[in-house]
Amino acid sequence: MSLAFDDYGRPYIILRDQGQKKRMKGLEAYKSNILAAKAIANTLQSSLGPKGMDKMLVSPDGDVSVTNDGATIVEKMEIQHPTAKLLVELSQSQDAEIGDGTTGVVVLAGKLLEQALTLLDKGIHPLKISDGFDRACDVAIKHLEQIAEEIDIQANDHEALIQAACTALGSKVVSKRKRELGKIAVTAVLDVADLTRKDVNLDLIKIQTKTGGSVEDTRLISGILIDKDMSHPQMQKEVTDAKICLLTCPFEPPKPKTKHNINISNAEDYNKLYQQEQQYFIDMVKLVKNSGANIALCQWGFDDEANHLLLQNNLPAVRWVSGTDVELIAMATGARIIPRFQEITPEKLGKAGSIKEVQFGTSNERMLVIENCQCTKAVTILIRGGSQMIVDEAKRSIHDAICVIRNLIKDNRIVYGGGSAELACALQVLQYADEVSSVEQYAVRSFADALEGIPSCLADNCGLNPITSVAQAKSRQLSEKNPRIGIDCMDLGTTDMKEQRIYETLSSKKQQIQLATQVVKMILKIDDVIAPDDY
């Protein structure tokens, strides 16, 4: 430690901790990294599959969340270790790209790392392992494409989409209601989907949570639901043929930007000021009304004075509309977001068939629904549930389902779940291993073992014996040449996942295998860790 002085002569202390940096090299570095990352994967392992467990996570300020969603679990775990953080990112990139399969990708990465550790112990060079995994990954992906099947998303009232949604929802807290929720998700996505371009803008599906009622009360509302009511209870409750003025400026007199003092010494001055303020409000309301608007939605608040004036002038208004709602409304109704009253013009107004206050269930609270928007259709899924924890988890689950459906609209190929696809790939990779004459052969074989880790984990989580069930499934896949044999987690009496209708998207499975391999390769390339001592 030493004392130094800066340019202004102020003293500061230099701490010398360069020498105390922790440093790990070579094999020690590989192993420590792998073990740290594996610890994360092990935590997630018990959450995989339809009988997977949930995790309860308590944030530093005491908020509790209960979830089964891999991405959410790792995000809330507050992980310190740098390599373990790579797995967090892994889960999040799966979430961003695909939306579902966030647990599976981390578990697979963990299995691969486990295999890498044994290979390192055998004395195989990390780059050879990497190479082997890479080649095996290519084989697996090719095989996935071969066993994938196209589904007809239109047939039978979109039954296939509903099934895929049910698979995604089956492992969640809300699994009891998966069919109803799955249908809601499918309708919502199809409502906003552009089927000719095979594209879905998920921003047009708003998911609104509201505690109270139960999960069965969850419903789809065609229109944008905002959790607000008219700013004054006596304003009209319904505006038909709405012309919306979307404001991001408050209904209040401008405040001086710099510090000024106003001295009021007599009643006359005070009255003058009051008149002026009134005039401001009156002008604002006039500007809005003159443009032809019949409702004002404001991102900011306004005080009682303004509120009263709005009522008097017959201009219904809503205050404190959230930023995301403002954007959604702008997108759906064609409204321009207006930041200054002077800029209000008739062309900037958004149009909607109606805006009305509605009441749900027995609660007294009201919300606003904006229906028949001019530009694009937007829908809202209103999630109900007994507690904040439930509605939050239901929201995450429905998000997964929505993503699966969107992915199927983009690419209608599926593979079957229950570990069957992984098992089929494992068998293919094993076959390929025999063709590899170099040392990579071991890595290729280990890759197959890691893939088998997924069905084995699924079996473990639902109380089956993982070794016997995987062995049985494997031998049946081989003898019957049927890549759809997996683990019968729900005890339905068949291991054929086509009969069980466990649909997973090809894009998700592909992404899982590719991302997991990538991360493992990345971890295997780190041979030197330099970190501050407190890691």
Residues 155-214 that bind Mg ion (CB under 5 A): 168
Query: Is 64:389 a contact under the CB 8 Å cutoff?
Result: yes
Q: Among Mg ion, ligand ADP, none, what does residue 504 contact (CB within 5–8 Å per kind)?
A: ligand ADP
Q: Which residue is nearest to ligand ADP (CB)?
A: 417
Q: Is 100 a binder of Mg ion (CB under 5 A)?
A: yes
DSSP code string of 280-331: HHHHHHHHHHHTT-SEEEESS-B-HHHHHHHHHTT--EE----HHHHHHHHH
Active site residue 325: no
How far CA 387 is from CA of 63, 64, 287, 384, in Å, comes to 13, 11, 43, 9
103 binds ligand ADP (CB under 6 A): yes
The one segment of 25-33, 58-66, 102-110, 338-346 that binds ligand ADP by CB under 6 A:
102-110
Q: Cβ distance 277 to 253 under 8 Å?
A: yes
Whose tokens are 């990139």? That residue is: 93
CB atoms within 10 A of CB 83: 23
Residue 52 interacts, among ligand ADP, Mg ion, none and using kind-specific CB cut-offs from 5 to 8 Å, with ligand ADP
Q: Which does 200 bind (CB under 5 to 8 A by kind): Mg ion, ligand ADP, none?
A: none
Count CB-CB contacts under 10 A for residue 254: 9
Element (H or E) spanning 351, and its range?
Answer: strand 350-359
Distance CA 35, CA 304 (A): 61
* Closest CB 407 distance from ligand ADP, rounded Å: 12
Closer by beta carbon to ligand ADP, 307 or else 505: 505
Q: CA 13, CA 242: separation in Å to the nearest integer?
A: 65
Which span sits near ligand ADP by CB under 6 A: 146-154, 198-206, 335-343, 413-421? 413-421
Asked if 407 interacts with ligand ADP (CB under 6 A), we say no
Which of 110, 126, 170, 213 touches ligand ADP (CB under 6 A)? 170
Q: CA–CA separation, 109 vs 129, rounded Å? A: 14
Does residue 95 bind Mg ion (CB under 5 A)?
no
d(CA 409, CA 524): 36
**H helix and E strand count, the chain:** 16, 19
- In the bound complex, what is the minimum distance in angstroms from residue 376's beta carbon to ligand ADP? 30
Q: How far is the CB of 105 from Mg ion (least distance, A)?
A: 11
The answer to whether 200 touches 193, Cβ cutoff 8 Å, is yes
Q: Is 400 an active-site residue?
A: yes
Residue 333 interacts with, from ligand ADP, Mg ion, none (CB under 5-8 Å by kind): none
Pick from 504, 516, 517, 520 the residue near ligand ADP by CB under 6 A.
504
- Between the two ends of the chain, the Cα-to-Cα distance in Å is 21
> What DSSP letter does each residue of 490-529 carry, written as one string?
T--S--BHHHHT-EEEHHHHHHHHHHHHHHHHHHHT--EE
Residue 65 or 72: the one with the smaller Cβ distance to Mg ion is 72
List helix spans (H) across 65-206: 70-76, 82-97, 102-121, 126-147, 155-169, 178-192
Closest-CA residue to 405 (of 91, 52, 99): 99
Taking CB under 6 A as the criterion, the residue among 417, 453, 466, 483 binding ligand ADP is: 417
Q: Convert 505-516 to b/e letters by CB count within 10 Å (16 or more is b).
A: bbbbbbbbbbbb
Catalytic residue among 83, 103, 209, 333: 103
Residue range at the interface with ligand ADP (CB under 6 A); choices 56-64, 127-135, 297-305, 416-424 = 416-424
SS3 229: coil
Gyration radius from the chain CA atoms: 29
- The number of residues making up the chain comes to 535
Catalytic residue list contains 392 = no
Output the residue with the shortest Cβ distance to Mg ion: 100
Binding status of residue 458 toward ligand ADP by CB under 6 A: yes
- Of 72, 83, 102, 209, the catalytic one is 102
Q: Is 393 in the site for Mg ion (CB under 5 A)?
A: no
CB of 400: closest distance to Mg ion in angstroms? 5
Confirm or reject binding of residue 334 to ligand ADP (CB under 6 A).
no
Shortest distance (Å) from residue 71 CB to ligand ADP? 8
Given the residues 95, 325, 392, 400, the one annotated as active site: 400
One residue of 100, 357, 393, 496 binding ligand ADP per CB under 6 A: 100
Instruction: Please give the structure tokens belonging to residue 139.
Output: 């084989």
Are the C-beta atoms of residues 161 and 153 closer than 8 Å to each other? yes
Q: Does 209 bind ligand ADP (CB under 6 A)?
A: no
| Residue 70 interface partner, choices Mg ion, ligand ADP, none, CB cut-off 5-8 Å depending on type | ligand ADP
Q: How far is the CB of 357 from Mg ion (least distance, A)?
A: 37
Q: Which stretch binds ligand ADP (CB under 6 A): 94-102, 218-226, 303-311, 436-444?
A: 94-102
Closest CB to Mg ion among residues 99, 483: 99
Interactions with ligand ADP, residue window 23-82 (CB under 6 A): 47-50, 52, 68, 70
For residues 143, 144, 145, 146, the Cα torsion angle rounded to the nearest 10 degrees is 50
Which tokens belong to 13? 């202390």
Does 104 engage in binding with ligand ADP (CB under 6 A)?
A: yes
Total of residues contacting ligand ADP (CB under 6 A): 24
Give the residue with the Cβ less far from ligand ADP, 207 or 457.
457
User: Residue 123's CB: how many other CB atoms inside 10 A?
Assistant: 8
Binder to ligand ADP among 65, 67, 72, 102 (CB under 6 A)?
102
Residues that bind ligand ADP (CB under 6 A): 47-50, 52, 68, 70, 100-104, 167, 170-171, 417-419, 458, 487, 489-490, 502, 504
Residues that bind Mg ion (CB under 5 A): 100, 168
What residues act catalytically? 69, 102-103, 400
